[in-house]
Amino acid sequence: MADKITMQVTRYRPEEESGVTVQEYEVPFTKDWVVLDGLNYIKDRLDGSLSYRWSCRMGVCGSCGMTVNGEPKLTCETFLSEYGAGPVRVEPLRNFPVIRDLVVEIGDFMRKLVAVKPWIIRDQEKPLSEGEYLQTPDELDEYRQYSMCINCMLCYSACPIYGLEPGFIGPAAIALAQRYNLDSRDQGSDERLDVLSEHDGIWGCTFVGECTEVCPKHVDPAGAIQRYKLTAALENLKSFVIPKSAR
Amino acid sequence: MSERTAYSEYHPRWLRRRPSTYWWLERRAYLAFITRELSSIFIAWFVVYLLLLVRAVSQGDASYHQFLVWSRHPVVLVLNVVTLLFVVFHAVTWFNLAPKAMVVHLGRKRLPAALISASNYGAWVVVTAFVLWLML
């Protein structure tokens, strides 16, 4: 096993250049190092000017998503050894504007996330004296998978629709809307329907399916979207055949 | 949906990269997706062909016979074989998607995805067998 591996890191320094450049660094190659360890080594020992996001180092915070050898990955759980002798190419997440080096601008996703109201909505909150909103394990299982989303945006990076049509609300936002729609304690699905069923909502998805493939938490956003398409279509049908008062 | 981002002097030069023209060659799933999109033209042809068949049948024996002769023309034959392959491709995509879109509960138990897929494929086989029985 070689003791060094080459990392090719995309740099974008708007104050110095108008486009991107690729910079090569040699980092120690050990079996237990992930791509993020390599980047931290570069930052600490070789080039302090390199910018990237990271926080927890354990696949929970969703900050360190980058494109590694062309694939959207969480760099904290992608081992350098997966790439053999290298080189390992690290680029910013695709489909997002780049602020600097490997740091992308995530405001668009944040606005879309809020638009689907990813929180429990009640018609009327019951008084505290009545206790908690109870839920059975079966009811929990209905949405548990979608609640695993860590907002890492790898799915947006893998989605060609989002790349071509940036208005598309995107996989994670829809999966998180479903996380609350399917929660037995929630009563807000009608409020989410308008945003989700508009042109840039679920109908923008043409089932490429890569969002599910790259999801590090096995949320299956593609599944969430297809499931919601059926729900929205039925709601639409209901609105035609059932009078509003009877719904 | 997307708000325009307000630019300030502190972030005036975000780098926006458009996807490459050949993005659909980058992954197998992208290629499958674009093939499905383009092949919808063939699916439309299938519908037109079916309508032509119905029209020919409604106009009597001679017209139906003429339609059959026309259908045997190599160009029409090749076109229909290619169309059939694309229709099968769409059908398989649809059947694999079905368990994602449909979550069926039996009492408190959720039916496994494989069962929903299998029932779709099963129905396909039954309908195909029925159509073959009618034809042969």
Touching A: B residues 21-50, CB under 8 Å? 23-24, 26-27, 29-30, 33, 36-37
Q: How many whole angstroms separate alpha carbon A125 and alpha carbon A98?
A: 42
HEC profile of chain A = CCCEEEEEEEECCCCCCCCCEEEEEEEECCCCCEHHHHHHHHHHHHCCCCCCCCCCCCCCCCCCEEEECCEEEEHHHCEHHHHCCCCEEEECCCCCCEEECCEECCHHHHHHHHHCCCCCCCCCCCCHHHCCCCCCHHHHHHHCCHHHCCCCCHHHHHCHHHHHCCCCCCHHHHHHHHHHHCCCCCCCHHHHHHHHCCCCCHHHCCCCCHHHHHCCCCCCHHHHHHHHHHHHHHHHHHHHHCCHHHC
Structural contact between residues A68 and A90, judged by C-beta atoms closer than 8 angstroms: yes
Nearest CA-CA partner of B18 in A108, A89, A160, A202: A160
Assembly ipTM: 0.81
- B38 falls in which pLDDT band (50, 70, 90)? very high
Structural contact between residues A198 and B69, judged by C-beta atoms closer than 8 angstroms: no
- CB proximity A217 to B under 8 Å: no
Q: What is the mean pLDDT of residues B37-49?
A: 95
**What pLDDT does residue A146 have?**
96
- B1 falls in which pLDDT band (50, 70, 90)? very low
Residue B19: is its pLDDT beyond 90?
A: no
**What pLDDT does residue A1 have?**
62
**What pLDDT does residue A84 have?**
85
State the smallest CA–CA distance between residue B70 and chain A in angstroms: 36
**What pLDDT does residue A173 have?**
97
Tokens of B76: 């029409």
Where are the domains positioned within chain A?
4-104, 107-246
Contact state of A167 with B1 under an 8 Å Cβ cutoff? yes
Q: What is the mean pLDDT of residues B14-35?
A: 90
**What pLDDT does residue B111 have?**
86
Tell me which residues of chain A have a pLDDT lower than 50: none
**Distant-in-sequence, close-in-space partners of A113: CB < 8 Å, separation ≥ 6:** A151, A172, A173, A176
Quick: pLDDT tens for A126-161: 899 999 999 999 999 999 999 999 999 999 999 999
**What pLDDT does residue B8 have?**
59
Structural contact between residues A149 and A155, judged by C-beta atoms closer than 8 angstroms: no
Q: How many whole angstroms separate alpha carbon A103 and alpha carbon A81?
A: 24
**What pLDDT does residue B11 have?**
59
Q: How many whole angstroms separate alpha carbon A49 and alpha carbon A42?
A: 9
**What pLDDT does residue B97 have?**
86
Q: How many whole angstroms separate alpha carbon A50 and alpha carbon A76?
A: 17
Structural contact between residues B120 and B98, judged by C-beta atoms closer than 8 angstroms: yes
Touching B: A residues 93-112, CB under 8 Å? 94-95, 97-99, 105, 107-108, 111-112
Residues in chain A: 247
Residue B18: is its pLDDT beyond 90?
A: no
DSSP state of B91: H
Q: Give contacts of A95 with chain B, Cβ < 8 Å.
A: 19
Structural contact between residues A216 and A153, judged by C-beta atoms closer than 8 angstroms: no
Compute the C-alpha angle A100/A104/A105, nearest 5°. Answer: 110
Structural contact between residues A26 and A5, judged by C-beta atoms closer than 8 angstroms: yes
Q: Which CATH number fits domain A107-246: 1.10.1060.10, 3.40.50.300, 1.10.760.10, 3.20.20.60?
A: 1.10.1060.10
| Side-chain half-sphere CA neighbours of A126 within 13 A | 9
CA A95 vs. chain centroid, Å, equals: 12
Nearest-by-Cβ selection for A166 from B2, B12, B15: B2
Q: How many whole angstroms separate alpha carbon B54 and alpha carbon B43?
A: 17
CA A66 vs. chain centroid, Å, equals: 11
Strand order from edge to edge, sheet including A65-68: A21-28, A4-11, A88-91, A65-68, A71-74
**What pLDDT does residue B112 have?**
87
CATH superfamily placement of domain A4-104: Beta-grasp domain (3.10.20.30)
Nearest-by-Cβ selection for A227 from B29, B36, B103: B103
Contact state of B14 with A220 under an 8 Å Cβ cutoff? no
Query: Which domains are seen in chain B, by residue range?
Result: 23-101 (1.20.1300.10)
